[in-house]
Amino acid sequence: MSDLTQYRFSFGPWNISEGADPFGPEVRSPYTLEEKLGWYRPLGFEGVQFHDDDVVEGLDGLEHLQIIKRAREVGQALRDHGLVAEFVAPRLWFDPRTIDGGYTSNSPAERQYALDRSVKAIDIAREIETPNIVLWLAREGSYVRESKNAKTAYARILDAVNLLLEYDDSIQVWIEPKPNEPMDHAYVPTIGHAIALAYQSADPSRVSGLIETAHAVLAGLDPSDEMAFALAHDKLASVHLNDQNGLKFDQDKSFGAANLRSAYNQVRVLEQNGFGRRGEFIGLDVKLMRTQKQDGSMAHLANSREFFLHLLDKVRTTDTALQDQLIADRNYEELEAYTLRHLLGVSARVFEGAAPQQLQSAAKV
């Protein structure tokens, strides 16, 4: 196997979860952030994705200096464990003041809360030494179309992005699109929307996208083509690799668990375009099954990383000369068969039965 170690991996502390879902409570006991940080390196991860309140719990009830003090402690814990923060994302979906959305709420006071909270996320990011702010625009959308003016909503999201860019001229804003859940319809459902927002912003060079596999599938789109689109604009800042079994709730399954071939194509597009060589992380955003017992709490992270590396090996050992020939011959049936055999680890047709081409040439004689 070639050297597969060049990629850096990240996940968020929320990925080690207690199993609550909308129909039932927690089934595992929680670990502290400090305990979780101790597991990153042994599991093969270097980057930590954070929500603002993963760093500073209960930050809405704290004074500025208290927030800074706690953020500094977490910054020190990261250094102690040889870890780096990948990004901070303001959690704009939990507080009662974000019930109708954050930046797009119909209430001016609630919109102000969302902006103030986002600025606090930047203060926290500074203390833990990351310039990257992720906006998953969870409740920026509608349940009822008539409840909001969508054009005004887009303008408000743009104003919010510009305000963040202005607040700190060293930050980068990464927009993570998702088409639905918790809202019926989100205002920034795809990477195309996110990149349009980036170009429209006050500083397009500092706004880019983060693509999550499951979110692209929920939008009915192919994750690897979504990634290619962002790469073509040099706007793929990070990824949340996971998987999604069709159009239902956001499943965040382990990478490759629902569609191995799609996972292969995501690794392929990242590898072929040099993703990661400027320090970008292979981020995971995977949910542990509710059925898992306490001591398997990190299984989905280890497994997702392992299958990324297996698929990377598949990408690197693809017979590209054969692929090129099949493409030149426009023999896409065989290109597909080759791809499936390669993924299955078989080198040629192994079952009885003549190859179709042989039959046809024989018929011509």
- Beta carbons within 10 angstroms of residue 277's beta carbon: 9
Please, which residue, 55 or 315, has the CB nearer to ligand XUL? 55
Kindly state whether residue 285 participates in binding Mn ion, applying the rule CB under 5 A: yes
Helix (H) or strand (E) holding 11: strand 8-11
Residue 51 a catalytic site member: yes
Q: Which does 110 bind (CB under 5 to 8 A by kind): ligand XUL, Mn ion, none?
A: none
Distance of closest approach, residue 107 Cβ to Mn ion, in angstroms: 27
Distance of closest approach, residue 355 Cβ to ligand XUL, in angstroms: 45
Distance of closest approach, residue 136 Cβ to Mn ion, in angstroms: 6
Please, which residue, 251 or 259, has the CB nearer to ligand XUL? 251
# chain residues binding Mn ion, by CB under 5 A? 3
Please, which residue, 54 or 123, has the CB nearer to ligand XUL? 54
Cβ-contact 23, 99 below 8 angstroms: no
Strand 47-51, strand 8-11: pairing: parallel
Residue 177: which of 209, 206, 223 has the closest Cα? 209
Residue 54 a catalytic site member: yes
Kindly state whether residue 253 participates in binding Mn ion, applying the rule CB under 5 A: no
Distance of closest approach, residue 103 Cβ to ligand XUL, in angstroms: 15
Nearest residue to ligand XUL, by Cβ distance, number only: 136
Phi and psi for 282 in degrees, rounded to 5? -85, 95
Q: How far is it, in rounded angstroms, from Cα 44 to Cα 284? A: 12
Distance of closest approach, residue 127 Cβ to ligand XUL, in angstroms: 19
- Beta carbons within 10 angstroms of residue 90's beta carbon: 27
Cβ-contact 200, 207 below 8 angstroms: no
Question: What is the residue-wise DSSP string for 90-108?
Answer: ---SSSGGGTT-STT-S-H
- Beta carbons within 10 angstroms of residue 163's beta carbon: 14
Question: Within its chain, how far is the Cα of 67 from the centroid?
Answer: 27
What is the binding site for ligand XUL (CB under 6 A)? 51, 89, 134, 136, 176, 178, 212, 240, 250, 285
Q: Which of 212, 226, 250, 280 binds Mn ion (CB under 5 A)?
A: 212
Please, which residue, 193 or 342, has the CB nearer to ligand XUL? 193
Q: How far is it, in rounded angstroms, from Cα 176 to Cα 215? A: 9
Please, which residue, 250 or 280, has the CB nearer to ligand XUL? 250
Which residue among the candidates 52, 53, 54, 243 is catalytic per the annotation?
Answer: 54
Question: What is the residue-wise DSSP string for 257-270?
Answer: SS-HHHHHHHHHHH
Residue span binding Mn ion (CB under 5 A) among the ranges 96-104, 210-218, 286-294, 324-332: 210-218
Which residue among the candidates 51, 215, 240, 300 is catalytic per the annotation?
Answer: 51
Q: Which does 140 bind (CB under 5 to 8 A by kind): Mn ion, ligand XUL, none?
A: none
Give me the active site residues, please.
51, 54
